[in-house]
Amino acid sequence: MKQKLRNSLFILGALVPLLSWAQLAPQIMNIDARQVTSLDGQWKTIVDPFENGYYDYRLNPYDDGYAQDRTYSDRTKLQEYDFETNKTLFVPGDWNTQRPQLYYYEGTVWYRKHFTYDLQPGKRLFLNFGAVNYEAIVWLNGKRLGSHIGGFTAFNFEITNLLKEGVNSLVVKVDNKRRPEGVPTVNADWWNFGGITRPVTLVEVPSTYIRDYYVQLKKNDTNTIEGWVQLDGDSKSQKVLLDIPELKLKKEVETDADGYASFEVKAKPVLWTPEEPKLYTVSLAAQSDKVTDEIGFRTIRTEGTKILLNGKEIFCRGISIHEETAYSSGRAYSKDHARTLLGWAKELGCNFVRLAHYPHNEAMVREAERMGFLVWSEIPVYWTIHWENKDTYRNAEQQLCDMIGRDKNRCNIIIWSIANETPVSEPRQAFLASLAEKARSLDNVRLIGAAMEKSEVEPGVLTVNDPLGKLLDIISFNEYVGWYDGNAEKCDRVNWTFDVQKPVFISEWGGGALYGHHGPKNERFTEEYQEDLYIRHVNMLKRVPGLAGTTPWILKDFRSPRRQVPGIQDDFNRKGVVSDQGQKKKAFFVLKKWYEELKEAYK
């Protein structure tokens, strides 16, 4: 991660006020390590399907609506809204699983939180949202702070000079309507959970603080730690001490007039692996601020059809995971949610998880790092995105920058994915080529992938001949032989061939079953069908040349409005090897057995 990253992120930071997400402040690295005050809990809400609180009856937007949060006390006057006497929703969380009336709701819900804050002189205060799906417009004390588009990335506003004595009124207009020009667009195979879906925090920092930093191994060099630090504030030129006590490493740098300094130091850290996920306490101390993180060190590269972690060939024994809680099947956001899902992946014998189809919450990525899971992280450039729309590209690129910006210090992420099952066309190739180039400019220590689709070039001969492949470091693709493509027996009679020497990574395969639904193995949605499919599919995968990893679809049954067989699907995609209630299906044990064999083979 070189100077280019810093230039891109710095330019992005400077450009932000000019973007349509005006007034957004640049990302703050490692929010939870700062002095934070949580605004999580019950927020007052108004469900507003006609956006009555935002548009007048001539459809002109006006700030004098619900954003002003007026209490309807004087009943001699006309007012047609009142947060105070309205219902609440828990933040963080989706509204769909909190209130039956909102199960399918797609539209606007207004959220309101009152808070007090005593900000000391010389301190600054930021308001950070972990994520809001899909568009957020934010007001504080009736003043519009700005807006953000994208349902899975963090954003923040500086509110240092906007606080009031006493009670402050924070109002957020959340609109989860799907849009053709959106990222994702209007069609997807997951539930369109609306809401303030990740934590909301007040972040207090010194007037000049360490806003961002990067500390990782230099590309393919296990003896050199490189990185940089970025200050934000008035006194930008400061001495900053990098300190990794366990390595007896101290390195002092001096930030320049922009508040930036880079470093490169010799060190021989114990390398992070899934078996020994070693993390070091790393601190950066400026004269005015100090921040501490837990950081691992590893190298990743490909060599022919191999993926090498720390120079050693690995097989990615993976599973795909949606960001959905166990049992309640709502939007996941916490460390506990992560531990439950990753605990099942651990029982499967996984050393890898594909966090589909969008950047997951930070707790999930950090818990995966602590528990020893390599990660595939992706942006929701999914299916039929509007490739020729400039705003769509800017949205996708912003989500890519935010995903890489937030998680660039998480050594367990080894693949950034820029797309999933997107139809081949010239505009799509140009769109994705730009994204791949942007990803490489931001990060040279990770692989770039995407879920392409397979082709049957002649009966029984399967390959991937997607032009996107030449932009990627791996041949990564989804295939459903035995489910969408024939029955399970088709797995026995097909073979795969690839004309490039890159690692093959099958990012989806599988089939559906309702837990506890039993019958003949040729009957769809029985556990016996899914088990037989897994047995035959694994035997097919053993014949795939250059296979270096796979993430079967999917760990847990998940909500989707596309899945409508009553009594079997009931708005759930049933391809999980675990039911939505945590019950392990017969196929779970087929995969577990194969992963045990692979663990032995790659010792």
By the criterion CB under 6 A, which residues form the site for ligand GCU?
A: 189, 357, 420-421, 478, 508, 553, 573, 575
For residue 461, the minimal CB distance to ligand GCU (Å) is 21
- Quickly tell me which residue has 């509110």 as its tokens: 159
Which is closer to ligand GCU, CB of 176 or CB of 478?
478
Q: How far is the CB of 549 from ligand GCU (least distance, A)?
A: 17
Considering the complex, what minimum distance in angstroms separates the CB of residue 523 from ligand GCU?
A: 19
Task: Give the nearest residue (CB) to ligand GCU.
Answer: 189
Q: Give whichever of 389 and 420 is closer to ligand GCU, judged by the CB atom.
A: 420
What single DSSP character describes residue 32?
G
On whether the CB atoms of residues 189 and 5 are closer than 8 A, the answer is no
> What is the token pair recorded at 148?
């953000």
Our CB check for ligand GCU shows the closer of 159 and 435 to be 435
Nearer to ligand GCU, 155 or 509 (CB): 509
Which residue, chain included where needed, has tokens 């692996």?
A: 273
Tokens of 256: 């320049």
d(CA 224, CA 449): 26
Q: How far is the CB of 573 from ligand GCU (least distance, A)?
A: 5
Q: Least CB distance from residue 480 to ligand GCU, whole Å?
A: 7
DSSP state of 326: T
Nearer to ligand GCU, 169 or 185 (CB): 185
Q: Which DSSP state fits 438?
A: H
* Shortest distance (Å) from residue 574 CB to ligand GCU: 9
**Largest Cα–Cα distance of the chain, in whole Å?**
79
SS3 504: strand
Q: How many CA atoms within 13 Å lie on the side-chain side of 212?
A: 23
Q: What is the DSSP letter of 568?
A: T
Question: What's the CA gap between 130 and 14, in Å, rounded?
Answer: 21
Pick between residue 170 and residue 577 the one whose CB is nearest to ligand GCU. Answer: 577
**Residue number with CB closer to ligand GCU (304 or 561):** 561
Closest listed residue to residue 274, CA positions, set 220, 332, 342: 342
Kindly state the smallest distance separating residue 572's Cβ from ligand GCU, in Å.
11
Q: How far is the CB of 550 from ligand GCU (least distance, A)?
A: 13
Distance of alpha carbon 590 from its chain centroid, rounded? Answer: 29
**Within 10 A of 61 (CB to CB), how many other CB atoms are there?**
10
Candidates 201, 196, 199; CA nearest to 89 is 196
Q: How far is the CB of 60 from ligand GCU (least distance, A)?
A: 39
The smaller minimum CB distance to ligand GCU, of residues 128 and 507, is found at 507
Q: How far is the CB of 502 from ligand GCU (least distance, A)?
A: 21
Minimum distance between the CB of residue 262 and ligand GCU, rounded to whole angstroms? Answer: 39
**Backbone phi and psi for residue 326, each to the nearest 5 degrees, phi listed first:** -70, 150
Residue number, 127 or 541, with CB nearest to ligand GCU: 541
The C-alpha torsion from 491 through 317 and 130 to 392, rounded to 10°, is: -40
What are the distances in angstroms from CA 517 to CA 530, 573, 579, 581, 586? Answer: 11, 15, 11, 14, 11
- Identify whether the C-beta of residue 195 lies closer than 8 Å to the C-beta of residue 109: yes
DSSP one-letter code for 107: S
Query: Phi, psi (5° rounding) for residue 595?
Result: -70, -30
Closest to ligand GCU by CB, 54 vs 191, is 191
Q: Closest distance between ligand GCU and the C-beta of residue 346, in Å? A: 23
**Considering the complex, what minimum distance in angstroms separates the CB of residue 420 from ligand GCU?**
5
* Amino acid at site 24: L
Sign of CA dihedral 36, 40, 45, 47: positive
Pick the closer one to ligand GCU by CB: 299 or 420. Answer: 420
Are 197 and 275 spatial neighbours (Cβ–Cβ below 8 Å)?
A: no
- Coil, strand, or helix at residue 469? helix
Rank residues 26 and 512 by Cβ distance to ligand GCU and give the closer one: 512
Instruction: Kindly list the distances between the CA atom of residue 170 and the CA atoms of 91, 140, 149, 433, in Å, as whole numbers in the listed order.
Output: 13, 5, 18, 40
Residue 76: phi and psi, rounded to 5, are -85, -10
Rank residues 324 and 532 by Cβ distance to ligand GCU and give the closer one.
Answer: 324
List the one residue out of 325, 225, 237 whose CA is nearest residue 272. 225
